[in-house]
Amino acid sequence: MLKSSGIAQKSDWEAKLPDVNRRKSGPYVVIECYQKIPCNPCEGACPNKAVTIGEDINTIPCVEYGRCNGCGICISRCPGLAIFVVDEGFCPGFGKILIPWEYLPLPTKGSVVAGVGRDGKELCPAEVVEVRIAKNQDRTAVIGLKVPLDFVNQVRGIKLGGEENGR
Ligand code: SF4
Ligand code: SF4
């Protein structure tokens, strides 16, 4: 299904999550890189050496979750925009997601945008709680979103327009 539609299905992305205990213990990276391609910036980007690809550059990245602190540094280094960070303990009833964003305009901190799924369909309101853009991110911003807990591993993008405040 992933190959024919280009859209990761539940069984695809669930296989990329850490176990339940790790998910409860703090922010964690989710690397939604599904196919063997010659690419490895994520491996060198992680200051904690949590990501391994190894000698064969076509290997799908492997995460050692004990080393990942959810810093999000690797997000902007991925040319495939395939890396996210999820924090399921952000505040009661809500989680935080860090996503890559390469469009203009940048969303505004404090605004409420539409959180969209892997298929681009709107899922829920998402409050922009962080906007990171530094020179070493090479114009790939990292956007922090507060979303209802049920959607932390469903929302993987945003749709701007009609924001409720801050714009
Ligand atoms: S979120 Fe930070 S610690 Fe985790 S894999 Fe990415 S760079 Fe490494
Ligand atoms: S940088 Fe991104 S696309 Fe490249 S191997 Fe890592 S996760 Fe996959």
Residues 3-61 have pLDDT tens digits of 888 899 999 999 999 999 999 999 999 999 999 999 999 999 999 999 999 999 999 99
What is the signed CA dihedral for 84, 85, 87, 90, rounded to 10 degrees?
A: -90
**Cβ-contact 141, 131 below 8 angstroms:** yes
Ligand 2 in reach of 51 Cβ (< 6 A): no
Indicate the pTM of the whole model: 0.95
Ligand 1 in reach of 30 Cβ (< 6 A): no
Ligand 2 in reach of 29 Cβ (< 6 A): no
Residue of minimum CA distance from atom 6 in ligand 1: 74
Q: How far apart are CA 68 and CA 111, in angstroms?
A: 29
Ligand 2 in reach of 126 Cβ (< 6 A): no
127: which strand partners? 112, 146
Residue of minimum CA distance from atom 3 in ligand 1: 68
More confident residue, 125 or 166: 125
How far does residue 8's CA lie from ligand 1's centre (Å)?
A: 22
Contacts of the segment 129-137: beta carbons below 8 A, 24+ positions apart: 129/96, 130/98, 131/106, 131/107, 132/72, 132/76, 133/106, 137/76
On the question of a cis peptide bond just before residue 105, with omega within 30 degrees of 0, the verdict is yes
Ligand 1 in reach of 117 Cβ (< 6 A): no
Tens digits of residue pLDDT in 111-165: 999 999 999 999 999 999 999 999 899 899 999 999 999 999 999 999 998 676 5
CA atoms lying within 13 Å on the CB side of residue 160: 14
Ligand 1 in reach of 75 Cβ (< 6 A): no
